[in-house]
Homo-oligomer: A and B are copies of this chain.
Amino acid sequence: MAPWIYIEDLKKHIGEEVTLKGWLYNMRSSKKIRFLEVRDGTGIVQCVMGAGDVPAGVFESTGGISRESSIIVTGIVKEDARSKIGVEIGLTGLELVAKAQPYPIAKKSHGPAFLLDHRHLWIRSRKQVALLRIRHEVIRTLRGYFDKRGYVCFDPPIFTANACEGTSTLFQTDYFGKTAYLSQSGQLYGEAGALALGRIYTFGPTFRAEKSKTRRHLTEFWMMEPEIAYLDIEGVMELVEDMLVELVAVILDKRAEELKVLERDTSLLEKVRKPFPRVHYKDAAAKLTKMNDRFKVPFEDGDDFGAEHETELTKSYEKPIFVHRFPAEIKAFYMKRDKDDPQASLSVDCLAPEGYGEIVGGGEREDDLDALLKRLGEHSLPKEAFDWYIDLRKYGSVPHSGFGLGLERTISWIAGIHHLREAIPFPRTIERLTP
């Protein structure tokens, strides 16, 4: 049998006889010729079967092969300018591996509930394959960005003994008679890692039992959280900017085909260049309070942003923006205060354009022991639960900073999709725990 080749590599085999192992994506037929679209997970290629090109009986029996049946085909790779991938196959043989039952996902459009119920099959569709390949490239690029720069991948625990920011949005489990909470963020552990290893990043699933039913919420989602000793808030903004510019450039370069399948307007992504605007929270707040006639929930100075506020705020920019120095009161206990303005925290969010909103949040961590103890008290958090975290301020405390990047939010923005649920293989939301 001719050598087994993946469709993404066909261009290297023009003129050769090859074998493809995959599935029938679609077929059109006339009396003497059949056009088979064959997919193998790495692409889709048109295969042309003339009645006289294949062994006796094969042409006839191929007519009965249903969509998504598994097939092994052999044929000659031919250059073809009309093809999206530049080649087609002139078939010389076809073997049916397993005939599929009538496939539930039709060409006609289905509602989201039906598609999500069939997520295990829906992921075979052209658009979903493109999204999952972009997800893969985003992960690879982000990890590679930090690996190249000497960061250490540092996996924080998922099971934690303490509910760091209240139990209301935490999932919990019985842990041999104790209660364990599922981590919402690896940051506190990442800080321990940064003080041991200099520069680290976490990259894993995190969990929030939020009762939010929006297109921007999943109960289980992936976060990357770099943490760096001796870095300040300005350094965080430079790092996030540099990382996102590289990420978008790589996806534009390596996943151009997939972005085309998704009909993404890439001219907007081309504009993701340095520098990103840096907007002080106070300036953002002043702008928003003047726009209150546009909002369902009016904005008041001191508030955190809602989705509609983020959307308005980013409308006047064509690239991601930083909003920095949010009021300390609306941020977590570990945020360091601005010494020039003690009401402000050294925090920063990065908001994506086109209404995608927050994709990154971070800043400087409180590194002063007494200040940290005071914050814990102000937030009514139990000191014992944080004993190990407090230790980081007793033994060699340093200024340090980090951020968290929401993977599915970042993918949704780059791929230009509406709902986070298509940015992860098997989405989990308040209403969905299957398949």
Contact = CB atoms under 8 A, between A and B. Distances in A.
A138 to B, nearest CB: 10
Contact of A205 (B155, B171, B196, B199): B155
A113 interface: no
A359 to B, nearest CB: 18
A132 B197 contact: yes
B396 A193 contact: no
A229 interface: yes
A78 to B, nearest CB: 22
A139 B153 contact: yes
Contact of A21 (B140, B147, B156, B229): B229
A173 interface: yes
Contact of A8 (B150, B178, B180, B430): B150
Contacts of A197: 41-42, 123, 129, 132-133
Contacts of A172: 173-174
A120 B192 contact: yes
Q: In terms of DSSP, what is the predominant structure of the interface of chain A?
A: mixed
Contacts of A132: 152, 154, 193, 196-197
A39 to B, nearest CB: 9
Given A176-B430, A178-B433, A192 B159 contact: no
A147 B140 contact: yes
Contact of A395 (B119, B121, B199, B389): B121
Interface stretch (A51-59, A265-273, A347-355, A420-428): A420-428
A155 B424 contact: yes
Chain B CB within 10 Å — which of A182, A211, A222 has the most?
A: A182
Contacts of A159: 207, 219-220, 428, 433
Q: Rank and list the top 4 A-B pairs by shortest CB-CB distance, nearest first.
A: A41-B198, A388-B435, A41-B197, A120-B192
